[in-house]
Amino acid sequence: MFSDFGVLNYWTYLIGAIFIILVPGPNTFFVLRTGAAHGIRIGYLAALGVFVGDAVLMFLSYAGVATLIKTTPVLFNVVRYLGAIYLLYLGGKMLWSVLKKQPGAHESQAELPGAILKRALTLSLTNPKAILFYVSFFVQFIDVQAQTPGLAFLILAITLEAVSFAYLSFLIVSGSLVTRYVRTRKKLAKIGNSLIGLVFVGFAARLAFLQS
- pLDDT tens, the chain, 212 aa long: 777 888 888 998 898 888 888 877 788 888 888 888 788 888 999 999 999 988 888 888 777 766 666 677 777 677 677 767 766 776 777 677 667 765 444 454 544 778 888 888 988 888 766 777 776 777 778 886 777 778 888 898 899 999 999 999 998 988 777 766 555 555 555 666 666 666 666 756 765 665 54
d(CA 51, CA 43): 13
pLDDT number for residue 119:
87
pLDDT number for residue 78:
75
**What is the residue extent of each domain of the chain?**
7-208
pLDDT number for residue 106:
46
Q: Give the number of other Cβ atoms within 10 Å of residue 42's Cβ.
A: 20
Beta-carbon contacts of residue 74 (< 8 Å; ≥ 6 apart): none
Helix, strand or coil for residue 183? coil
pLDDT number for residue 45:
92
pLDDT number for residue 168:
92
Beta-carbon contacts of residue 3 (< 8 Å; ≥ 6 apart): 10
User: In terms of residues, how long is the chain?
Assistant: 212
91: exposed, middle or buried (Cβ count in 10 Å: 0-12, 13-18, 19+): buried
Q: What is the pTM of this model?
A: 0.72
What b/e string do you get for 46-70 counting C-beta neighbours within 10 Å, with b at 16 or more?
Answer: bbbbbbebbeebbebbbeebbbebb
